[in-house]
Structure 1
Amino acid sequence: MVTFCESIFRGNDSSDFKIEVKEMEKRIVISGIGTGGHYFPAVVVAKEFLRRNFDVIFLSRPGFKEERVGRMFGLKIFYINPKPFSGKTIFLKIIALFSFIKCIIRLIPLVKKGIGFSFGGFGALPLTFACLIKRRPFYLFEPNCIPGRATRVVSNYARRVFLGMPSKINLKARCEVTGIPVREEFKNSVYYSNKTEREKRILFIGGSQGAKRLNEWAISLTKILPGEFTIVIISGERDFNWVFERKDSRTVVIPFTDKPWDEIKKAEVVVSRAGALAGYELLTLNKKIVFVPFPYATDNHQLYNAQYFSELGNAIVLEEKKTTEEIIAQKILEMMKRQVENKGEIILDAEKRIVDFVEKETG
């Protein structure tokens, strides 16, 4: 039996304290740093590891949303503070590099007898590099059709890469398509979502960061759609003030919600960006969807996600540059007339499949 008392954790009372971690051989360190597309699948998988008696440590930046979500799931939090490299000046890139090195140094003792599990994004690299330095096994989860740069950099060193959907790029790694882990509340909301009698309610959702263009279209729609329609906008916190000021009595504006299933299940049609997690959640609830991929996403990965989703569900794909509020309104009315049908099955037990693999391969 090995114990570990060297690392500092932050408690629920925001004070620092020492945690003694037992059963080191069952430790798994999980990084979900980034946006909702990173930390929500991470906490779902973390919860499944906890259920199977793993010692789970969840990496978070201090004060960011992933910390709050991790605590909601009852996870033990360990702080690192990596800075993103992309789109920065040379000076900021140097700062990012030093933050990266500092994170690796903090993580090396943590992974010494454990397993690493990264859910992508810039926050994933310190954990994977710490595992490489200590020659510890690590796993990757990649939700998108076009794997992110962080995944491509280290995938050939990973024990296995779990894919949310089939990859358009041939990764030099052992890969397994498992589907995307979604929160249990989405699965529990399927029955209500499939009820046929529903008000004419249209939901615009741009993901955890919001989407300005979608918000602009949504605000305009009450001038185009008939009076019985209600428009609900999950605006993102950044755009909430101006969207709220411009809304009328038929529009409901929400900055962000930890319970998106409550709004999604009540909607007749959803207009959404095509982030991997957001799209998968909508498919889980069997919604009619108008996908408008973010055109500036890295490697245009949202377009490929949307095309894949449209093959599985009741969805169409529009290009932002060719779309106006009139076109959005027309497509919404067309989708209202469609019968809901399942074009393909999505995987709804991704977290169990993932943990099964890890348990089998690590003993």
Structure 2
Amino acid sequence: MKNRLNPKSKLVIVGGHMSPAIAVLSEFKKNGFSNFVWIGQKYNQKGNKVPSVEYQTISQDPSIFHYVLDSGKLQKEGGGLWILFLVFNLLKVVFACLKVLIFFMRSRPSVVLSFGGFLAVPVAIAARMLFIPVYTHEQTVVSGFANNFISILAKKVFVSWPTTPKRGKKWILTGNPIRKEVFIIKSNTLTKDFDESKPILLVTGGNQGSNVINKLIFDKLILILDNFNVIHQTGNSTVTGDYLKALDIQKRLPAEKQIRYVVRDYIGRDEIGEALNKSSVIVSRAGANSVYEFLVLGKMCILIPIPWSLKNEQQKNAEFAQQIGLAKILEQNETLSSDLLYQNLIFAKKQLLAGKFWTDLPADVVVKKSKESLILDASRRIFEEVVMD
């Protein structure tokens, strides 16, 4: 089939999941493409004064033009005034659509690659109005509202998980694109002072951090450090201030524990391979990209899904990992406590010493099962599906 795109084509990337988007963008770069537009927000949390990790990361790449956009979320919120909130958000979507429409008429992109999220909706609408082809990728086990809507407009819908329902021929199983940095240990800056007799615990709430998880860790940190070395990604929210709290706690620790508690607001591409590959246990939310990376690397994890995620998508992601045997789910409800988390960490340590994860199967058997359940070349597959369409 004749190639419709060539290395001079302008590609627009938009969506709420940065890691797979960067992985696919890197695949295009590897094949000679160099003209990119990234549509995203500058801040990821209302009231946050620090630019988002996405904005900071993309702005450093001279081959990418970062176009800042805001839009509304078409979901029920605002309590008894939810209808007013819905109308307000709908108006924001319309305004965003008009803004993108004007931008596209001036910049003339060749294709739009969407990675889900509310911000991608007006972009997809504007693209189709100008007959610009749209492709979208769904990261979660259960597709959300945004991608369900965008799928109507898209030429192809790429899905990550074998259990995701396919709705016709244009729904294609490609796997979830994984950033190459995940597999490469480039540094030892995180772990150089660690006690080699203790396993390494990685705590992360994703790019934005998790105030819930951070507070659980803070509460039992001394006891946790008696059993683990700890790498803690707190997020950079100026609303919760967790990063500064963690640094303050670190300063007040005994010297021996202080060097074994490493704090980052965000673990960048130079350190992420070290953090993931050297960790023995991971405490995390259950975002699709994080869970996929844990499964590919065969990492024992404790997952605390966000309870208000659309269609309970984080719970479904976590259940997939739990069925394989790599994950233990702790639900965020009235039973969740720092004591419960600590008890599970101690059990995880005992299981690791016995060569197991959360089941009685040997750890290497579970890791093999995990890797066999996933597609590992998703970036290449998506590139070929788009370029050769």
TM-score interval for Structure 1 and Structure 2 normalised by the shorter chain: 0.7 to 0.9
1:182–1:335 CA distance, 2 compared to 1 (3 A): same
What does 1:1-363 align with in structure 2 at a 5 Å threshold?
27-34=9-16, 38-61=17-40, 63=42, 64-72=52-60, 74-86=62-74, 87=77, 89=85, 90-91=87-88, 94-111=91-108, 114-166=110-162, 168-169=164-165, 171=167, 174-189=170-185, 199-225=198-224, 227-238=226-237, 239-247=242-250, 249=253, 250=257, 251-259=261-269, 260-312=272-324, 314-321=326-333, 322-336=335-349, 337-338=351-352, 339=355, 340-341=363-364, 342=367, 343-345=369-371, 346-361=374-389
Count of residues in Structure 1 that have an aligned counterpart in Structure 2: 330
Structure-1-length-normalised TM-score: 0.81
- For 2:120 and 2:62, how far apart are their aligned partners in 1? 21
- Alignment deviations for residues 225-244 of structure 1 (CA, whole Å, 9 cap, x no partner): 47242333211112212333
- For 2:94 and 2:197, how far apart are their aligned partners in 1? 52
1:164 CA displacement: 1.5
- Alignment deviations for residues 79-128 of structure 1 (CA, whole Å, 9 cap, x no partner): 1413233547455653453133212221244446x122111112212331
Residue in 1 aligned with 2:359? none
- Alignment deviations for residues 221-269 of structure 1 (CA, whole Å, 9 cap, x no partner): 2344472423332111122123333455233322112133322223221
1:131 CA displacement: 2.4
1:165–1:30 CA distance, 2 compared to 1 (3 A): farther
**8 Å Cα contact 1:128/1:138 also seen in 2:** yes
Secondary structure in 2 aligned to 1:107? Answer: helix
Structure-2-length-normalised TM-score: 0.76
1:26–1:116 CA distance, 2 compared to 1 (3 A): farther
List alignment gaps of at least 5 residues for structure 2. Answer: 43-51, 79-84, 189-195, 356-362
Secondary structure in 1 aligned to 2:305? Answer: coil
1:135 CA displacement: 2.2
**8 Å Cα contact 2:12/2:36 also seen in 1:** yes
After TM superposition, the structure 1 stretch with the greater mean CA deviation from structure 2, 61-70 or 303-312, is 61-70
- Alignment deviations for residues 52-88 of structure 1 (CA, whole Å, 9 cap, x no partner): 2335422234755434323545532151413233547
- Alignment deviations for residues 207-229 of structure 1 (CA, whole Å, 9 cap, x no partner): 01111111111112234447242
Residue in 1 aligned with 2:46? none
Secondary structure in 2 aligned to 1:320? Answer: coil
**8 Å Cα contact 2:300/2:327 also seen in 1:** yes
Secondary structure in 1 aligned to 2:181? Answer: helix
- For 2:298 and 2:185, how far apart are their aligned partners in 1? 10
- For 2:153 and 2:101, how far apart are their aligned partners in 1? 17
**8 Å Cα contact 1:111/1:130 also seen in 2:** no
Secondary structure in 2 aligned to 1:144? Answer: coil
After TM superposition, the structure 1 stretch with the greater mean CA deviation from structure 2, 51-60 or 155-164, is 51-60
Secondary structure in 1 aligned to 2:135? Answer: strand
1:307–1:154 CA distance, 2 compared to 1 (3 A): same
- Alignment deviations for residues 147-176 of structure 1 (CA, whole Å, 9 cap, x no partner): 121111121331111111135455456212
